[in-house]
Structure 1
Amino acid sequence: MKKISFTLLFLVCAIGFATAQSKDVAKMLKVPDTYNRSSVTLLVLDFPGDYHYNFVRNNLKTLVFSDKYYNNNLNYITLNSPYERSYIGTNKADLILKSLKEKRVANDIVAKWYSMDSQGKMSLDLVHSRGMFNATDEAFLEAKTTKRGNAQLEDFGNRLIDMSYVVVADFYDIKSMEEAKVKDSRGWQANVQTYLYKIDFNEEIRNKIYDNWIFDEDTPEVKDSKRAALAKIEIPLVFVTTSMNTASESVSTKTTSIPLVGSKKPKTDDELMAKMIQDAYNEILYNLEMKVEDFKVITSINGVNPIRAKIGKKEGIKTDYRFFAYEYVYDEKSNLTTQKLRGVVRSTPKIADNVQVATGKSPTTEFYQTCGRRLQNGYLLQQRNDFGGELSAGYEIGEIGGIYGRLDLRMGRYVGVKALFLYIEGGYESKAYNTVTFKFTRYGGGLAKGLQLTRNSELRPYVGLGLEETKNASQVKQSTLYFKGGANLGINIKHNVQLIGGVGYYMTGDTKDENDVSYGDWDTVYDGRSGMSILAGIRIGF
């Protein structure tokens, strides 16, 4: 009874926490109604004396950069660290900023925007082409109705320069799987600390550049004067935020006697390092997109049944990316138009290949709705990345029951299948057999697939394997493997909170002790301990 009360207390606290999160969403600042592509310059801190750092440095050349951002990478990708690896101060971001300024990284980036050559001559070709590429179908069609036409879109490229960011990544604690004591595995793991900076391309800086633009007809003296003036310009950089994530890539070293048809040649250590760096880079951007407004894609719903929008690979969209849908609502009392959250959608695998200049006929990406009311054309969509995790807690009733917990992790952005989950579970039950009370613990994992029944309800079938263990009357530890299949039904309370109920079926196996001695079937040793269980609880997404 105490354990049931504890579970109920946990559920009440969890609902309160999740409701507070939802209120925070409601209180957030107004969502911008336009989206423009940012540009990113990646620099990796260089620690020449670090163990394994040569592996990082040598494999940066294989990195594939995101299509979502304009690639502003320079002819160098490493930055000498301004501090020693042993440094534990809290001002690392400031030290890096100072180093970026000393190296004039911001000036190099703006020079790339304007295609500046060694003589100081500049061109607007890249600025104009990026302005055109940034344009949406709506902007393209609007420009067609003006006298300036495409020139209006090209000139917009100048404003994109102010959305130039510098990502500085610090790979540390780099270890091989052997050094990390991961058995039967070969590869790498590392932690990555990221620092984000933004160019402040203000009007004063922009005017200084245009005032000193070098033209062919300028005299040599004028050109020299302008070159000197350009060299004196210090383009500001400001610190934005920081994030931390881990990365790893490995292959199994276990040998098998069964020949694998079509098996590939094992990856080399360099190939494994390159894959780890690529995954780390992808996660860096994904995590920053949670924090930085400029990085969040904004568009409008272009169609319903199914929900569609004119975004896609050009904006870096992958399966199961989350978007909030907003409606503009007029408030007669305040005489203001406000945004109201009306629903939550996620991208399907049908992602538009729109990596092209807008023509007014861009393809659309399809979405499926996971929460809210019926959405309409014109509603605003804003990208709101999440970690893809869902934590469940509840109580199971049946031959196998007790306190139950489970963590579901969305796999869509990795494998391209919507609402596919990898889950791990655990449970505890104290139960009497033949007047003796035993304490059972179990843990397992498997795969689940979400099926959206309505906008606010989802059925999630699952299959998995696990292990249950206890100590018998003689205090000998016994365990069994189990297979479990079932389905859980989730009904929304909030966009990130669901009440869940489900039915699962446990199929238990042989009872063995730590010496692999068999005692017979688990449901014979512990009479009837297998079969159907009913679950009730709560699930919180994050």
Structure 2
Amino acid sequence: MKTIITYLVFISAISTAFAEDIIEPSRADFEVLESKIDSSEVSVQMVFENYINAIGGREKLEQVGSMVKEESMNIVSVFSGTETIMNSVVLTARDKSGKLASIVKADGVTTKTVYNGNSGYTELSTGFKMDFDENMLALYDKPVVFFPELNAPENAEIYVKTINGKEVFAVSYKADDITEVTSYFYKDSWLKVSETMINGDTESTMKYQDWAEYNGIKIPVKTMIVTNFETGKMMTEMSTKIEFNAPINSYIFSPMEEIAKNMAAIPSGVMSASMASETLLSNTSLALSSDNVSVESMEEVSFDMLNKREQHYKSILQALENEGGEVANTTSLATITVESDGEKYDIDKVSRDELSEMKYRRSSLYTLMLDDQTREHYHIIKDAFGNTELSEKFNNHNIGPYLIPGTGGEKDQTEHIENYLNANGVAKSLISRWFNRDENGAFNMSLVAERGQYDASDLNVKVAMESKRGRALLQDAGEELIGNTFVIVYDYKYTDKEEQAKKTGGFLNAISTVASFVPGGENIATIASLGEAASDVLGKGYFVRTTTYLYQLFWDEETANKFYTDFWIDESNLDDNKEAKFESTDFFKLKYVGSEVSRNNLQSTIFTSKTDEELIEIATIRAVDKNIGKLQRTFEDFRVKTPLLSGDPIKAKIGLKEGLEKGDKFEVLEQVLDDGKTSYKRIGTIKVDRRHIWDNTFMAEEADGALQNEDYTLFKGSSNKYASGMLIRQIN
């Protein structure tokens, strides 16, 4: 444990130095430096002063009193021929006096380091905490220099070098008795190309690939670091986001979990193992990037590294940072109205995108997964889940975070999940999403109106609370929409079939050996050998055990009345007391509906071209769909309604992905509106045609070896009775 603490503190100390005077491609990779420049031509002082002016000017840099810095890092190390990949995110808040708060999110552990000017500590997410001793206090108890270049080094030497057709100045000096630093500056723009630090047998190089401007100060926002040790090599790809003169006390005193939740997700898959090895083992070259890289282009690169759920969450956080910004509505505006008016018309040519926009009232869904970083293939599972598209049968009600910190093990996770949902106020956040709560605490009905196909003006709360029709509309919206808001949490467990096959093969081999000494045992030996061969052919792939936990937002008449009476405010009627009351309430709840377990055999053979990573990704995505289907079959409240594409033949765009099986029965419904209140009238029942079930599972066409001609399922039932747009719902 002490080793882990020391390592994490070491990372924290490096990340909080804020020195701009370290590293870049190795000295060994350069051509021989050209001769020294006469100091009368270009002085070290001149180079450093021009650099200061290029990044913002002396006056602006000297006014920086604090800095909050977030760095996302992909680290690849090779020692003794063994390659290790580690991803981390480090957030550091520090002021000139030396006060510090640092959060490190690495694979499997989060740590917080604090120094308040008098004392300090390091705390792990496991609950372990260690106070600073005298040595640690001495390490942190010193003023911070954010821009060392404000004071040019003494006894430095300066050279001119041409790299990739551009001239750079190389300034070399001793940082201390054993450390030699060389900084490289563009001759035309004066920005830094890179830096090299040599300390004994360790040589580090830092290449600045992109620059951006924050508060009028330019900083490098994408950096590649290569460190050569006597026994190995380490490469770090780093993206940086920074804020100057920001208050840091909130970081010092806020809980570690709260800060970590708002940090960027740990990057994964940015640098493949093969690419990292190739890069590490080849000569590192100094590739000069454009001097005019915008903040937008850099943020776009970093953004593209994230999976879709991480991108969505980052967009929400960015919107909240913008003054007056509102979180973008992720549910597309419906453009196709499907009404069951009894006419026989066919809409089976509608595209999947258009189908997802049809106006019928869907349940709303928020999905998460247990973030158990101890599980095998964690990063592949996380990104596959994060990139999985939500079924068009649901309204997308994802409110941001999608990972619940895992507890390890395979036991029932219900209590752990419920503790997370309650502690993080997820029910209240779902309601805030429904009513578009803004930064002033004001609500509006635009999303409810959109999803329920209501007239937004009819849903104005003032009118609704004063009229019979208004109350009916609110009750209808609550029952039809808000009360049908669900949360699903996935827990994945993977077993490598090849490992199981090896065990089976060993057992069969033993049988074969024993049988050879038994009279008449030739048949036994042959069977054992055939079994071993079969285990080789069928033994690749994964067994996937996926547990899904289903929760429903609790919304009844009492809850609705309390919300509209005690918490509702809008733009025209702001109320600080109601805003504060909603912020502090824990009144809103999620109720546990139940769970389902699926076991998938992701079959592959020795002839497969799929990598393990691809097989795991396929299995993860298929498990999402399969378990939703199982939950719908088991829990009636979670069953979704789907529009018919046509009434003759009777067909709908659902299939194996939704868990259809031969013999499944559905009721056909017509929607009836009575003074604003919705009800559904059953007009008949239909049954799945077992010969025409659509296989719409993920990558089904590849598994079957050919594309399917039909992208719908046929049903058996009375002809000339049903129409396009009528809704069907499973009843068995």
Q: TM-score range by the shorter chain?
A: 0.3 to 0.5
Identify the structure with the greater strand proportion: 1
Greater RCO (Cα-Cα under 8 Å, separation 6 or more): 1
Larger radius of gyration: 2
Identify the structure with the greater helix proportion: 2
